[in-house]
Amino acid sequence: MSQKIDWAKYVAEAEKNITSKVDPTPMTPARRGGPWGGDDDAPEQFSPAEASLLAKVIRKGLVESKTDIEVQRKDPKSPLYSVKTFEALNLNPNLLKGVYEMGFNAPSKIQETALPTLLADPPQNLIAQSQSGTGKTAAFVLAMLSRVDASKKYPQVLCLSPTYELAIQTGEVAAHMAKFCPEIEMKFAVRGEEVPRGVKLTEHIIIGTPGKVLDWGVKFKVFDLKKITVFVLDEADVMIATQGHQDQCIRIHKNLSPACQMMFFSATYDQEVMDFAEHIVKNPITIRLRREEESLDNISQYYVRCANAQEKYNAVTNIYGTVGVGQAIIFCHVSNYDNNNNSKKVVNTVVVFFFRRGKTAAWLSEKMSKDGHAVAVLSGDLTVEQRINVLDRFRQGQEKVLITTNVLSRGIDVEQVTIVVNFDLPVDVHGKADCETYLHRIGRTGRFGKRGIAINLVDSEQSVAILKTIERHFNKKIHFLNADDSDEIEKIGN
């Protein structure tokens, strides 16, 4: 948890340091060919923005949450409405048709409260926080489209996303939802998009990244920020985690009209995020849908003693074959494995393996491939588009084994995951047990009320000590499993 930030002081200091040049990095051919150009640059490792994107990609349906919505408002006596149907919102009929065309039958829990607030008259500012997959994007996109006056040929709605890919995703949602409203026009303000000098934008909605929007709105003035009536800041937690985006968002915000309606959306609840939100969004109604706590109650935990990596591999193959697992996700930090195996198999169940060392992952992936398993790799060497394709193939059952990094250990709900195997136990930078990561890892199984199995492979006295620390931390017994005994392995699968 970072220390509390005085955002007023931060803004004053940031304003002194902001330069008019949005993207100081030249657009080289290599960058032009990759997905992270301009102000959307990301390192080879998974960034917070990419983690968010992959969460959106792998989760196609809405998360059903049993937790209550928390609502905070400046005037507790002011009425707060919720709806159970989209018809109750009195939407444009063609817009309502687009909503149903997308498969939305009824508002999700966050939409029930957020949409009446977003569509209220006079407009109200909103801060909404809930986990990925709860319907935030559809909520603010519907509000954006509803606020447009198509007779006015200039930008009225501005939506900021931290990266090119996330902006494109939002734009795709908006395009689908506005399928029957051709009078509403949208424009992407992202790398690769250019506007000739002297030309003014006539589109009603701008969806883009901070650098490009700042360039167009302040430097080249191709649209008037003062005429924006709705400002949406999406993925706010990612914005704060991305160097420079806070400064750009603040500068854009300072050029907006005081009457502009502010909509702020985030997946996390960090105080730093809330402080930043409350600086940008004045007198907001705050809606929180907390993530349901991951529990170990329905997860059976086991450990296997191994002398070396080869014995670990033997344990994995014994468990894989005996329990009848049909599909696997293998987690590691780095993998240079060549992803050329496109064999297609039918999904039965899913097992998840976690690794700490990239060389181990590459070694294991090669061995599994030689043993006839169809292996796909989600690595830093792939473009985001390629990574999305890998995830799509895996989710559709076209790949049996997916090797990826720890990015999918948090917040990803894949219903078919039945077993989690920690090839190496999670540790922090000091080599101590990382109990939080352990919880998130094995929490990928036992989802949706189903029973799950977690298996930990230990190969040294140090890993035994780490296992005991985890056991004490959660006060949950981790049972010994003889991976050479097929009868014993069969029992854990029953």
> Are 421 and 306 within 8 A, CB to CB?
no
Give average pLDDT by consecutive 10-residue segment, the chain, 494 residues: 39 39 29 31 51 62 52 52 85 94 86 89 88 80 96 97 87 93 95 90 96 95 97 85 81 95 83 80 82 70 91 84 63 41 36 56 75 70 68 70 58 61 81 82 68 87 94 92 89 79
pLDDT (0 to 100) of residue 6: 43
C-alpha–C-alpha distance, residues 171 and 157, integer Å: 13
Q: Is 465 helix (H, G, I), strand (E, B) or coil?
A: helix
pLDDT (0 to 100) of residue 461: 93
pLDDT (0 to 100) of residue 56: 63
> Are 40 and 191 within 8 A, CB to CB?
yes
Token pair in block for residue 285: 């109604």
Distances (CA, A) of 199 to 154, 196, 213, 287: 12, 6, 15, 39
pLDDT (0 to 100) of residue 328: 57
- Model pTM? 0.61
Across 298-388, the runs of DSSP E, i.e. the strands, are: 299-305, 327-331, 350-354, 375-377
Please give the CATH topology (third level) of the domain spanning 299-492: Rossmann fold (3.40.50)
C-alpha–C-alpha distance, residues 14 and 358, integer Å: 39
pLDDT (0 to 100) of residue 35: 28
Domain boundaries along the sequence of the chain: 7-289, 299-492
299-492: same fold as 7-289?
yes
pLDDT (0 to 100) of residue 335: 35
From 3.40.50.720, 3.40.50.300, 3.40.1190.20, 3.30.1650.10, which CATH number describes the 7-289 domain? 3.40.50.300
pLDDT (0 to 100) of residue 465: 95
pLDDT (0 to 100) of residue 32: 28
Place of tokens 């959306």: 265
